[in-house]
Structure 1
Amino acid sequence: MKSALLILWLAVVAGVLGYLVWQKEQTVAQGRLVLLELAPRDPRSLMQGDYMVLRYSLAQEMENQPEKLAQKGLLVLKLDERGVGKGLRLHQGEALGPDEQLLIYRDRQGLRIGAESFFFQEGDAALYENGRYGELKVDAEGNSVLTGLRDADLKPLGRPVIQ
């Protein structure tokens, strides 16, 4: 009996994890490319082992708004012709224009949007030190997956993370 319950529990956990992976794969495959400017940071503390801590300029801009943000919500980004997103407003359920995109945010002692860490292979830090934009794939509901970094000229840096 205990063995059957353990096997059932493991199957449920594996199923949930598989579903979460499948969801992220769908976002990467079908999501819209959005570039978000990275906030200035101290390059001496930028690299920690084999990952880079990311902070987005958009998060800082939204934190400085006079209105109180909910714990979790949706931002409406305005995308320029290059795919660079700028914060426009909080989403109130209205229809979006063709150059607008939803992005989920969470307020956890600071605004969090997108991935907060960029992991890379050991020894590849120099490939990413000129990163100025985070490259994300974002689905219609505002879920995002970080797919790479880009330089000031919007050229991809380093090795492709996800193809």
Structure 2
Amino acid sequence: MNKSTDSLPRENSFDPSADTDSTQALQVALRPWGFDEREVRSWLDGLPSLGGRLAWTVARDRVAQDAALVVHVVKPSRRAADAFCWNCVGANHAMVRALDGARSEIVLFAGEAMQLPHRRAGFWSVAGDLPAHAALHALAYMIGASAGKDADGQWGMRRDLLSIIAQRLDA
């Protein structure tokens, strides 16, 4: 027996035409590692807000206090003779610290999986063949799909869901 999907509850669905309060948007901070801040800032206008559901900024400090989610954007820096990616060191250290916190933090690695450090903490998403800004664009939709409001009406992330759907962005 087939059941129509028209009868599914709509209260948790995203309506892009609905008016939204920007103070209620999920605050997403981009933390660049190896990218020039001006370059990352130039991507902000092109990133989807999903009808006001996401608000993007560039983290100007390590804490990024106002952010509900921090996306560490890492440019690969491994050279052929290097044993590890220099830009990955800071992002990995930040991810180790984030594991104890309540806020979600993820890494967008703007390279290939073979360039990743073997030992890393937290969730790392791989851009693969996509340019970093295009990978962020794709990741935005996955963040939107993984976000939801808790019982208090505060935005939060389903880390388990995001880790499933956003592993390799160019696949």
Q: Which structure carries more helix by proportion? A: 2
Asked if TM exceeds 0.5, the reply is no
Q: Which structure carries more strand by proportion? A: 1
